[in-house]
């Protein structure tokens, strides 16, 4: 059995910041990541980030990951990193089980735990949606930006939120033709700066359209879309067909919450946070006192807020096990303030409402 | 299918790796996943569904969705989207649920 003060599950922006902040508070940290690289979703994001300066706005996602890894390095005496290790279970007695390299099992007993497992991509229901060539937007990003492999030659992008727009642009940077972007909503969900840039490059954006069906024998050959009326009912005769070998599905993410569910944390379905999320207090402590959470796993939002939540959870989980940072109160107030800043503004109205619902005072 | 020029990224590919997929020898690079190497070689169909035998490819590429399970070096149900390619690997399309040996 491995003993540690604080175990952090997930090495994305939330988990990395939690580790840095906990180490600054004097905790001994074990950071567990199932991949062989740290950085989570950041490692495939070649675009410059929005947000405010404190969370590295105007810096590319891949470079933010490097900045965080350098900071982690400064605390290497307090942080043990375990890569290629998937956490499989959390038990009532506080023991967690993990598997390294697919065949080595181990037990870990931390005094406290932060779950920062991120999110997974949603899917869309339509006939033949299982054909090869129909991929999640994050998958297409990983293939292109991490491995340098094109997903195909011609793409239909489904979803005009920020991720759909950004990945469309990245597809074009990789030399892939984007035939069109469609969205079931009557309005483009992503920022208009992204949308205009893409339209100027000649890609049409069809709003109020959804996928009718995919066609192909062994892999995608054709995608058919149709228009939705005001009641979101498809209009017969409005079909448009695209000869594409890739359909990129970008209809959002949902929290990866299995570990939180199995550990007995009180959970609730909160649509504004994109799924079933843990109830938590302002310290990001769940209803199981030694379990904290941060990032997309407690509500799908952004890397900027995931980082601040990570810092806050690392600070508070350390305090919970008796490692109080000398400037605990000031730091906590600053992080809470930063989160409020990120969640101000009209685009974040749904997040504010979701966060309010997930808060236990 | 490999990206040769990119305005932002430089792909410093690792050393060449030879592997086998259904009787053919293919080339990939050190550091890439089995699914990425297959895709670069034009292989999109990675498996078939258990009951209706419909073709399957990957979907999430981060090890969540189980759409990319294949038989690798005789071991079934390997998540090829997160498994790194190794010299001499033998990769096959899996029939059925696979057996634990
Ligand atoms: C295309 C795209 C564009 C985006 N653009 C922006 C942007 O411009 N600005 C912005 O602020 N945000 C952006 N985001 C969102 C941002 O990437 C995420 O909100 C952020 O990565 C969430 O961080 P996280 O640490 O919670 O989760 P993740 O980054 O998903 O990290 C979670 C980590 O946990 C690991 N893990 C999961 N389960 C286990 C387990 N059982 N055991 C061990 N490890 C596990 C995973 O492998 C992963 O590394 C974008 C996202 C996408 C997909």
Looking at residue A49, its pLDDT comes to: 80
Please give the distance, rounded to the nearest whole angstrom, from the Cα atom of residue A122 to the centre of ligand 1.
Answer: 14
Residues of A whose CB is below 8 A from B50: none
User: What are the structure tokens assigned to A191, written together?
Assistant: 């920022």
What is chain A's mean pLDDT, rounded? Answer: 95
Q: Specify whether the CB–CB gap between B11 and A148 falls below 8 A.
A: yes
H or E element, residue A170: helix A162-173
Domain coordinates in residue numbering, chain B: 16-93
Report CB contact under 8 Å: B63, A34: yes
Segment A268-293, tens digit of pLDDT: 999 999 999 999 999 999 999 999 99
Q: Is-above-0.90 flag for pTM?
A: yes
Gap from CA of A252 to ligand 1 centroid (Å): 12
User: Would you say the CB of residue A257 lies under 6 angstroms from ligand 1?
Assistant: no
Antiparallel, parallel or unpaired: β A2-9 and A104-115: parallel
B56 bridge partner residues: B47
Q: The CATH number of A123-249 is which of 3.40.50.2300, 3.50.50.60, 3.30.420.40, 1.10.3720.10?
A: 3.50.50.60
Q: Do A2-120+253-358 and A123-249 share a fold?
A: yes
Asked whether the beta carbons of residue B60 and residue A34 sit closer than 8 angstroms, the reply is: no
Beta strands in chain A (DSSP E): 2-9, 29-32, 79-82, 85-90, 96-100, 104-115, 119-121, 134-136, 154-158, 177-183, 205-207, 209-215, 222-227, 240-242, 246-249, 253-255, 267-270, 275-278, 291-293
Question: What is the reported pLDDT for A223?
Answer: 98
pLDDT per position as a tens digit, A17-59: 999 999 999 999 999 999 989 999 998 888 888 766 777 888 8
**Residue pLDDT, tens place only, A215-225:** 999 999 999 99
CB B24 within 8 A of CB B17: no
Ligand 1 center to B44 CA (angstroms): 26
Q: Is B100 on the interface with A (CB under 8 A)?
A: no
Of all residues in chain A, the one with the smallest CA distance to B35 is: A143
Q: Going by DSSP bridges, is the β-strand pair A222-227/A240-242 parallel, antiparallel, or unpaired? A: antiparallel
**In this predicted structure, what is the pLDDT of residue B99?**
83
- Per residue in B13-72, pLDDT (tens digit) is 889 999 999 999 999 999 999 999 999 999 999 999 999 999 999 999 988 889 999 999
SS3 (DSSP) at A209:
strand
Q: How far apart are CA A90 and CA A258, in angstroms?
A: 10
Using a CB-CB cut-off of 8 Å, the residues of chain A touching B57 are 131-135, 219
CATH number (3.30.750.210, 3.50.50.60, 3.30.360.10, 3.30.1230.10) of A2-120+253-358 reads 3.50.50.60
* DSSP per-residue string spanning A317-328: HHHHTT---TTH
CB A15 within 8 A of CB A310: yes
Chain A residues with beta carbon closer than 8 angstroms to that of B1: 149-150, 152
The interface pTM score, or ipTM, of the predicted complex is: 0.94
Map out the domains of chain A as residue ranges.
Answer: 2-120+253-358, 123-249
pLDDT of B100 > 80? The answer is: no
What span, in angstroms and rounded, lies between the C-alpha atoms of A302 and A260? 20
DSSP label at B54?
-
- Domain B16-93 is found in CATH 1.25.40.20: no
């Amino acid at each position: 059995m491995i003993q540690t003060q604080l175990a952090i599950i997930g090495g994305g922006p939330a988990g990395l910041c939690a580790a840095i902040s906990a180490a600054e508070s004097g905790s001994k940290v074990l950071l567990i990541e199932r991949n062989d690289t740290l950085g989570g979703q950041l490692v495939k994001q070649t675009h410059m980030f929005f947000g405010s300066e404190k969370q590295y706005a105007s810096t590319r996602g891949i470079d933010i990951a490097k900045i965080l890894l350098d900071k982690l390095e400064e605390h290497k005496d307090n942080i043990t990193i375990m890569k290629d290790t998937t956490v499989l279970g959390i038990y009532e007695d506080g023991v967690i089980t993990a598997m390294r390299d697919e065949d080595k099992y181990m037990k870990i007993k931390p005094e406290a735990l932060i779950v920062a497992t991120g999110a997974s991509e949603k899917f869309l229901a339509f006939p033949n949606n299982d054909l090869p060539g129909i991929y999640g937007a994050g998958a297409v990003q990983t293939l292109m930006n991490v491995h340098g492999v094109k997903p195909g030659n011609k793409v239909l992008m489904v979803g005009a939120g920020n991720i759909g727009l950004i990945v469309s642009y990245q597809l074009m940077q990789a030399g892939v033709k984007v035939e069109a972007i469609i969205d079931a909503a009557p309005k483009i969900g992503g920022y208009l700066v992204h949308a205009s840039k893409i339209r100027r490059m000649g890609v049409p954006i069809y709003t109020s359209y959804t996928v009718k069906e995919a066609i192909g024998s062994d892999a995608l050959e054709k995608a058919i879309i149709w228009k939705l009326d005001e009641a979101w009912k498809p209009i017969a005769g409005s079909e448009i067909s695209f000869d594409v070998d890739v359909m990129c599905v970008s209809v959002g993410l949902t929290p990866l919450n299995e570990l939180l569910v199995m550990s007995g944390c009180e959970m609730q379905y909160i649509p504004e946070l994109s799924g079933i999320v843990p109830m938590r207090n302002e310290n990001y402590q769940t209803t199981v006192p030694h379990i904290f959470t941060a990032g997309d796993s407690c509500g799908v939002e952004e890397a900027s807020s995931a980082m601040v939540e990570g810092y806050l959870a690392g600070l508070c989980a350390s305090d919970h096990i008796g490692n109080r940072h000398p400037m605990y109160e000031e730091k906590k107030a600053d992080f809470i303030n930063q989160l409020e800043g990120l969640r101000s503004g009209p685009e974040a109205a749904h997040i504010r409402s979701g966060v309010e619902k997930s808060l236990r005072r | 299918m490999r990206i040769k020029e990119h305005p932002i990224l430089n792909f410093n590919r690792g050393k060449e790796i030879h592997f086998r997929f259904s009787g053919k020898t293919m080339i990939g690079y050190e550091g890439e996943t089995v699914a990425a190497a297959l895709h670069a070689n034009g292989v999109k169909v990675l498996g078939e569904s258990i009951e209706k035998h419909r073709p399957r490819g990957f979907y999430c590429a981060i090890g969540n969705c189980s759409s990319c399970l294949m038989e690798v070096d005789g071991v079934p149900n390997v998540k090829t989207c997160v498994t790194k390619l190794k010299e001499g690997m033998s990769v096959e399309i899996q029939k059925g649920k696979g057996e634990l040996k």
